[in-house]
Amino acid sequence: MPWDESKLNTLLRDEISAVETYQQALDKLRDEPQVGGVQQISSICEDHRDSATKLRERIIQHGGKPTEDSGAWGTWSKMVMGGAKLLGDQAALTALRQGEENGIKDYEEALQDTDVPGDVRNLIQTTLLPRQQQHINVLNRLIGTA
C-alpha cells in the first residue's frame, strides 16, 4: 500500500468525535429550548456525519480499513463538553469551535502530505476543509449571541 491509511483514519476519528461532540451539545440545547442555534448545530453535526461517511468510503476504496470509533480524541472531547455543559452555552460553543480549529489543522496537515491520494486531497480541498471553515463562522456568530 503506497499510502499511510493511519493519516486518513486520524481524519475519520476527528469526524466521528465531532459527531459525538455535537450530539452532546444538541442534547444539552434541546433541554434548554430558549437557547438559539439548535438548527445550526444540528446542521453542523450532519455535515460531520457526511464527512465521516466520505472519508470511510475513500479509505475502503484505497484498500484500507476505516476506524470504528473516535479514540482518545473522542474521550477528550466528551470531557471538555461535559465541563462546558456545567459552565454554560458560551463555553460549550467555544469548545465546539476549538474542535473545528483542530480539524482544520489536521486537514491542512493532510494536504501537506504527499502520500495522501489525489481524490482524497481533492475531497479535503473542495468539501471537508471549506465545511470546517464555514462551521467556525457559524459558531462565531452563535458565540456572539450566547
pLDDT digits (tens, 9 = 90+) for 26-78: 877 666 655 567 889 899 999 999 999 999 999 999 999 999 887 655 566 66
Average pLDDT of the residues of the chain: 84
pTM metric for this prediction:
0.86
Among positive and negative, which fits the CA dihedral 134, 140, 145, 146?
Answer: positive
More confident residue, 2 or 7: 7
Band (pLDDT 50/70/90 cuts) for residue 3 is: low
Give the model confidence (pLDDT) of 69-86 as tens digits: 876 555 666 666 666 555
Higher-confidence residue of 32 and 97: namely 97
Own/partner long-range contacts of 86-94 (Cβ < 8 Å, ≥24 apart): 88/146, 89/29, 89/32, 89/35, 89/146, 90/143, 90/146, 92/25, 92/28, 93/37, 93/139, 93/142, 93/143, 93/146, 94/143
> Is CATH 1.20.1640.10 the right assignment for the domain spanning 5-145?
no
Query: What integer pLDDT is reported at residue 134 of this predicted model?
Result: 97
Q: In the chain, what are the domain boundaries?
A: 5-145
Q: Is 72 exposed, middle or buried (0-12, 13-18, 19+ CB in 10 A)?
A: exposed
